[in-house]
Structure 1
Amino acid sequence: MDNFCCFSSQAGGRSSCGSGKGRSQLGPVKYGFSLVKGRANHPMEDYHVAKFVQIQGRELGLFAIFDGHLGDSVPAYLQKHLFSNILKEVCPYSLHCWLVYHMIIVDYSLSVLHEVHGDVARVNGQLAVSRAFGDKNLKSHLRSDPDVTNASIEAETDVLILASDGLWKVMSNQEAVDIARKIKDPQKGAKQLVMEALHRESKDDISCIVVRFMG
């Protein structure tokens, strides 16, 4: 079961929060996610993607969390367009051609700046990010070109964690890994990480995806 959740502002309504899970059709990989709105007086601004797609006879896992800071227009746009447009460019090439894939990711990420704006407004130590889509007038502080890393999934690789800063503000990488590794069900693992962030009094929106490569 693939899951693709969208959060949007509804007049007089409350922002949705929830969780879900899915798994690969061709291998043992499973994922789960959990999302909770923070205490700030604005709609949920975290968007995510968690699903598997079939491309060129292979299965590709797409996982991302987009964290808005002055509204949800930018993360909503990225959720809808980022992966689909990157994959449109990748399809004429082999998925194994990492150099081409890398260039397409960077080029498309930069092109998004011409489509969206108004996201990031706080810098100089007040916003814990090193990359951001958003206002061009802040590019002297925050870059939009992504760090792209090619990491092999080895036999001993067991878990991948993606989360918004609602979790990372109150938890170290190792603390998150220690929690997720103890729970085989990735959805339960994601929920536990979110609950731990709440226990540590995180006030921001909290979104977490856990991907397990081993049973």
Structure 2
Amino acid sequence: MAIEFIYLNLFYWLKKTVTSKNRIQLEDNFTTEDNYNENEDKNDVGDNTDAEKARDDDDVVDDHQEEAEYLPEGDGPTATEEQHHKGLVTKDANEKNKPSTRHFIHGYHLIQGQMNHGMEDHIFAQHRNLDGYDLGLYAIFDGHSGHEVAKYLQSHLFENILSEPEFWENPVHAVKKACKATDDEILENIADSRGGSTAVAAILINGVKLLVANIGDSRAISCKNGRAKPLTVDHEPEKEKDLIESRGGFVSKKPGNVPRVDGQLEMTRAFGDGKLKEHITAEPDVTIRKIDEDTEFIILASDGLWKVMTNQEACDCIRDEDDAQKASKKLVKEAKSQGSYDDISCIVIIF
């Protein structure tokens, strides 16, 4: 009866939340158009630090949904993401009005690379309160063949996710449904046959629950007791060759180049890319994790960083930093020094 009472309360709250009058509006979107050059100050196209102070509270939110399993380091989560993760937030409806049980801060930084195109990375990094729940909303959108899709995602993806009526009770299904709806919007109104974007998005709930959704080859990792732990798996053509071929496509590799879907796209999942949509998908992998006391920080970054740094190298690079903004700048600077020519963007959340 107690569980039914909780779900009933959540139902009425959700019904109220998603009405047009109360439709979620996300603010403080971050974008950039600055050019890359050797002057680091001019390349600092995105900075932000947001600190949230938590009170001591013994009633830590219980992690009562099934955890995603992880393969050896670098291989990422398995198909347990398909489980219905009930009770994402709390077992007790009264918990929603309590402050975050862990202190956390975030910072972000991005620079334009030396490729023959304008800046295509976009970042979303925001802390907000939603009906008593303390949310950190973080995402990296890495565009290709233009920045329009990434910019659209920056303005609409979280709005679409949090407006899904099933988000609190069945978050995995809700996130996938929202991504499908967002991709449909993009294909109809935004992208031409070639424009697209990857996305890695994280929702931190009350400082102790983390939902991560990934489409493409941007990546999220956590650092626990000094060790890097993957939160996502890169969607690369060789890894998902069976998926591409089952949809009628093919994977090819020219000498000296990377494998590509239909000889064109370096990843198997992306928003937009209408010309290839029959062979690729915008369905995300979704994982839900508990942020325990051993978790030191989380990194989200575009492939401009991961092409030149391993997960562990990224963790080691900033482990001594206690300022999230300085940590994000340090990561970008290190990736640049390691020879990355791509756009580089990252978000660091420190606990």
TM over 0.5: yes
CA contact (8 A) 1:113 1:136 kept: no
Q: Distance in 1 between matches of 2:136 and 2:44?
A: 24
- Give the 5 Å matches for 1:16-27: 17-26=45-54, 27=102
Q: Structure 1 pair 142/31, CA: closer, same or farther in 2 (3 Å)?
A: same
- Return the match for 1:6 from 24, 31, 41: 31
**What is residue 111 of structure 1 aligned with on the other side?**
181
Is residue 101 of structure 1 aligned with residue 171 of structure 2?
Answer: yes
Q: Which amino acid aligns with 2:289?
A: A
Residue 172 of structure 2 aligns to which amino acid in structure 1?
H
State the match for 1:31 in structure 2.
Answer: 106
Residues 13-36 of structure 1: CA deviation (Å, up to 9, x unaligned): x99713221122545100111110
Instruction: Please say if 1:187 is aligned against 2:325.
Output: yes
Identity score, percent: 40
- What amino acid maps onto 1:168 in structure 2? W
* 1:172-206 alpha-carbon deviations (Å, 9 max, x no partner): 11111111212111111111110111101100000
Matched with 2:128 is: 53
Give yes or no for contact 1:8–1:72 (8 Å, CA) kept in 2: no
Equivalent position of 2:81 in the other structure: none
1:9 shift after superposition: 8.7
Cα drift, residue 112 of structure 1: 2.0
Letter in 1 for 2:32: F
Superposition deviation, residue 115 in structure 1: 1.8
2:303 to 141, 149, 165: 165
**Is contact 2:141–2:302 with CA below 8 Å preserved after alignment?**
yes
SS of match in other structure, 1:183 = coil
Structure with the higher fraction of residues in strand conformation: 2
**5+ residue gaps, structure 2:** 1-26, 36-41, 55-101, 198-236, 238-250, 252-258
- Taking the aligned partners of 2:346 and 2:50, their CA distance within structure 1 comes to 14
The amino acid of 1:6's aligned partner reads T
Alpha-carbon distance in 2 for matches of 1:51, 1:3: 7
Rg (Cα) greater in structure: 2
| 1:70-96 alpha-carbon deviations (Å, 9 max, x no partner) | 111100000000001211224xx673x
> Amino acid of the residue matched to residue 80 of structure 1?
S
Deviation at 1:108, TM superposition (A): 1.3
Runs of 4+ in 1 over 4 A off after TM superposition: none
Mapped contact 1:3–1:22 kept (Cα < 8 A): no
Aligned residues: 204
Post-superposition CA distance 1:36-59 (Å, at most 9, x none): 010123221111111111112110
Q: Output the TM-score relative to the length of structure 1.
A: 0.85
Relative contact order, higher structure (CA 8 A, sep 6+): 1
Distance verdict in 2 for CA 1:39–1:212, change over 3 Å: same
Q: Whole-Å Cα distance in 2 between the matches of residues 149 and 130 of structure 1? A: 19
> Structure 2: which amino acid aligns with 1:182?
D
Matched, 1:79 2:149: no
Q: CA deviation at 1:168?
A: 0.6
- Counterparts in 2 of 1:105 and 1:18: CA distance versus 1, 3 Å: same
If the length of structure 2 is used for normalisation, what is the TM-score? 0.53
1:147 aligns with 2:277: no
Partner residue, 1:135:
273
- Tell me: CA distance 1:146–1:115, structure 2 relative to 1, closer, same or farther (3 Å): same
The Cα shift of 1:113 comes to 2.3
